[in-house]
Amino acid sequence: MLSFLLVFSSCLFGFEFCSIFVKNTIDLYTRLGIGFPFGIIITSWIFYITNLYFPFSCIHGIIVILLLLLFSLVAHSIHRKIREPRKFSIEDLFLTILFPSLFLMLTMFMSFLFDGKITRGAVYGDLPFHLNIISSFVYGCNSQRTSLFDTVSPFFANEKLAYPLMPDFFSSILIGCFNSSLQTSILLPSLPIAFSVFATFGKIIFLVSGYRFSSVVAPWIFIFMGGLGFTQLFNKEIYNEYNVDFVHNWGKNRYEYWFQTLIHFLLPQRLSLFSIPLCYGFIALLLSVKFDAYSYDNNSFEQKEKMTFRINIKIFFFCGLIVASLAQVQAHSLIALAEWTFAYAIINFPYKSLFPLKKLIHFRNWNSLRKLKEQIICYLILAVVAFGLGIPQLIPYVGRAKNKHFITFTPIWKDNKKNFFSLWWSGLGVFFGLSIFVAPLTLNKRRFKNYLPSLFVFFVSNLIKYQPWNLDNTKVFNAAWTPLATAVIAHFLTYLYMKPYSLAQSLTLFYIIVLCLSGMLGVSGAMLVSAPLWDEREDPTILAKWVCSNTEPKSVWATDSFHNHPIMTIAGRQTIVGYRGWLSSHHLNENERIMAMNILNFDSERTEAIDKYHVTYLCYSKGDRREMTHEPKPNSRKWKKVFETQLFIVYKRINL
């Protein structure tokens, strides 16, 4: 109950805070969509700072809940008299927001530790990474911080943690303050974010297209987006293969360039889930900005001009807060919004204000330069707020940014040994063709100008790799290109559907099927196959509870590197070498540590190599001896058996 109340008060706080700045610009549902993730992130920061001085406790949580509710009440009294724009109709609310949101919530419920252990799709691979971080703040290596960013990596002992924290830290709060289960801590804050995704996405659809048909089809194109993988449906050779999703994995060792929106992106990638509605909300806000006065009536022009300027300042100030809030949510979203905003500002710059040149000389005529002056001030406000509050949050990333393998000017198609067209035709098929070459032709001038910044993000991010793995660029595409591209395609389908020809309507249906079929095959396959996260022969909390009760939170362990090890995922302890895939994506070199582990396996009495990493415990898996191969002898002078379960054996270092 208290966990629910914290989520509710955080979302309410975010909504009321958002309404102070943009209530007269965007509708109720879009403010909810932006406010929910914004409020959760700010709440995480409140606890993240206060947790330095006060440990997690029920009292700690209740005090913050009361403060959030009090601020929400004050904020509501501030903005309650401000008029707001027209809301979505009830039909649009259900068709564009609620139905897709409920579908996403259902898949979350089925995938996020259903029945305490069941995962689906890529959640099996990604969720343990987040559990490492969540548990480390509650029970483990990050539970006794002495400074703001005094955090270490659970999967690579003694290494500074250079990873966005706030979405996972909120789950830590629910566990630490209110004793929520792992499933509840992950699922409960994710449910309102599912609503946020489609509330902000729906606003973009209405701004770009405005037709109801577009708002009906666009969310499902977004959810089931895929390429030409459905062409492999009748290939019997792939039927017995595991993890064929018809989007990224086509079977027979064929992998194409795209991740399916639902099973690869929104469900497993928690940072993307929380950042996406903020990115879409940011874009929707800037698309809603008007630099012209509401009326050019001579009697009221000056007053309305000032009113418009004040509104714009508030919008850009809040947009700066959104950007700053993303610094500890997802770095790729920051890159996407930076590129999108740069292009949007250049495209919408009031060049006519500069001509004729004499207007620059005669400064008395400020009305002719009003747009120029206002835009410069507004963008400066956005930049000052974003940089001023965001840059200090980037301190943990500095070490990783120095590595030349991050942000390299290399076309992404080179990794797949393809060219630009073959990469995207295989990866996104008809979606790529329509969004780049066909659908923009149906846009009027205003809509096309709104789409150009997203095309800029698309082409620039084809030429730059932001991490060693080129598929990480999909996070940038999904943050600032995908929503507008989907909206433009939906507008094109509406344009086609409204033609008074049965052939045009049949062609519309054909396009919708082709756009969604690969994704539908992938999603249905993922939802029908369940994967227990831990070995079903033993409750993993048996080992984790003993570790939490009997070992130091900052103790360093030598363990097997499988990604779901209870020592890291539930007890939050550090291991000397964790899952290799995570080490690779963070570009951490494990060779020296592997050598130290090999020496230990050869002779457990030779501890000189692992002593460098302060290893005090060994955990052997009884069923898998591919890594931790040889246990210490019963008469060992350096190791003592201290705990044993059906699946694991724990040794403690003695005679240090």
Secondary structure (DSSP) of 69-87: HHHHHHHHHHHTTS--PPP
CA dihedral 135, 137, 139, 140 (to 10 degrees): 90
Evaluate whether residue 209 is within a structural domain.
yes
Evaluate whether residue 423 is within a structural domain.
yes
How far apart, in Å, do the first and last CA atoms of the chain sit? 47
**Residue 247 region, left (φ>0) first, then alpha (ψ -120 to 50), else beta?**
alpha
DSSP code of 329?
T
Specify the 3-state DSSP secondary structure of 316: helix
523 and 481 both lie in a single domain: yes
Indicate the residue type of 382.
L
| Best CA proximity match to 230, nearest among 245, 214, 243, 215 | 245
CA distance 28 to 82: 12
488 and 564 both lie in a single domain: no
Task: Give pLDDT, residue 622.
Answer: 85
Task: Give pLDDT, residue 155.
Answer: 93
458 and 390 both lie in a single domain: no
430 and 508 both lie in a single domain: yes
Q: Quickly tell me which residue has 């959104």 as its tokens.
A: 322
Q: Are 544 and 551 in contact (CB under 8 A)?
A: no
Evaluate whether residue 270 is within a structural domain.
no
| Best CA proximity match to 38, nearest among 162, 167, 131, 205 | 167
C-alpha torsion sign, points 602, 608, 609, 615: positive
Indicate the residue type of 375.
Q
Rounded to 5 degrees, what angle do the CA atoms 560, 259, 105 make? Answer: 85
CA distance 300 to 293: 10
498 and 457 both lie in a single domain: yes
Task: Give pLDDT, residue 297.
Answer: 44
CA dihedral 264, 268, 269, 271 (to 10 degrees): 150
Evaluate whether residue 359 is within a structural domain.
yes
Evaluate whether residue 34 is within a structural domain.
no
Q: Which of 528, 558, 580 is the last residue of a domain?
A: 528
CA distance 232 to 217: 25
The rounded radius of gyration (Å) of the Cα atoms in the chain is: 27
Q: Are 618 and 639 in contact (CB under 8 A)?
A: yes
523 and 544 both lie in a single domain: no
Task: Give pLDDT, residue 646.
Answer: 92
Evaluate whether residue 166 is within a structural domain.
no
476 and 544 both lie in a single domain: no
Alpha-carbon 554 to chain mean position: 28
442 and 359 both lie in a single domain: no
CA distance 173 to 585: 27
Q: Are 427 and 257 in contact (CB under 8 A)?
A: yes
Give residues with Cβ within 8 angstroms of 527, minimum separation 6. Answer: 107, 110, 111, 120, 121
Specify the 3-state DSSP secondary structure of 135: helix
Evaluate whether residue 609 is within a structural domain.
yes
222 and 250 both lie in a single domain: yes
DSSP code of 23?
T
CA distance 587 to 468: 8
CA distance 82 to 345: 28
251 and 305 both lie in a single domain: no
Q: Which of 528, 549, 572 is the last residue of a domain?
A: 528
Q: Are 556 and 613 in contact (CB under 8 A)?
A: yes
CA distance 92 to 102: 15
Which mean pLDDT values do the consecutive 10-residue runs of the chain (656 residues) have?
A: 96 97 91 98 98 95 97 92 76 91 97 94 94 96 93 93 94 97 96 97 93 93 96 86 90 92 92 96 93 50 64 93 96 96 91 58 55 87 96 84 68 88 95 96 93 97 88 94 97 92 90 97 93 92 96 94 93 93 83 90 88 92 78 88 94 86
Pairing of strands 530-532, 118-120: antiparallel
Q: Are 468 and 420 in contact (CB under 8 A)?
A: no
Question: What phi and psi, each to the nearest 5 degrees, are found at residue 584?
Answer: -65, -45
CA dihedral 102, 108, 111, 113 (to 10 degrees): -130
User: Domain range for residue 326?
Assistant: 275-395
339 and 385 both lie in a single domain: yes
Task: Give pLDDT, residue 299.
Answer: 46
Pairing of strands 530-532, 254-255: unpaired
Q: Quickly tell me which residue has 């004050």 as its tokens.
A: 74
632 and 522 both lie in a single domain: no
CB count within 10 Å of CB 494 equals 21
Long-range CB pairs of 83-90, under 8 A, 24+ apart, other chains included: 83/23, 83/24, 84/23, 84/24, 84/27, 84/28, 85/24, 85/25, 85/26, 85/27, 86/27, 87/27, 87/28, 87/29, 88/27, 88/29, 88/202, 88/206
Evaluate whether residue 48 is within a structural domain.
no
Residues 576-586, buried b or exposed e (16+ Cβ, 10 A)? bbbbeebbeeb
The whole-model pTM stands at 0.94
Structural domain total, the chain: 3
* CA diameter of the chain: 96
Task: Give pLDDT, residue 544.
Answer: 96
